[in-house]
Structure 1
């Protein structure tokens, strides 16, 4: 169930995530439930679930805990943010056909139509260290969120 944290706030929902490899499965379930509850069509939900999985996997592999998933309502779109306290800036890298890693940000960029990025961020569910948010957006102009 999606819990509205503050009426008319930019934050629709925020969740602390596990601090291990199970965070990706947790995040996939949370974002699917939230977007389905907001009546987002199935195809964008499926894309968002894949993008969240990639971002959480990167955070667990290259970032530092704590991990947090945030869903924000912006004008005509939803922004999904994966926050961690790591200091490594995310960057897409060239990968070969045989590469097992390195495709995640490319997948996010492709599925979001290039509407993705990262910025310094504060956590929504806890006080403490600042982190970085790696994000993507989902157009929602046809959906009334609040």
Structure 2
């Protein structure tokens, strides 16, 4: 896959996928949204090989989705904090979770809840201008001329 071509083309979906388009990256961002910041926390939660985790954290940091901060000099230890771009990705993860619940939702599943009310959150994608739920009936992709 030509990441350079994906990240510079006219399609915003391919540009997004170039930054966070693999399962490990999305799951790291999910865990970061749950308050995990340290390498070992991510490794334990995900069961990911350390070399793969290192590469994904580096890529997410270079993409500006996570920020690497040193929290210990001796021994040197870093933490990974969501940037505003990373925080902006969280509703996308919520929508992906709803899709997964609907189309692959057998068994016991975690759920999003509103921390103020405790009520289950059902993520949907809406048009900001109209408030309408997005569907094939009210959207189409137009390419630049």
TM > 0.5: no
Q: TM-score w.r.t. structure 1 length?
A: 0.25
Query: Greater share of strand residues, 1 or 2?
Result: 1
Which has the greater radius of gyration? 2
Structure (1 or 2) with the greater helix fraction: 2
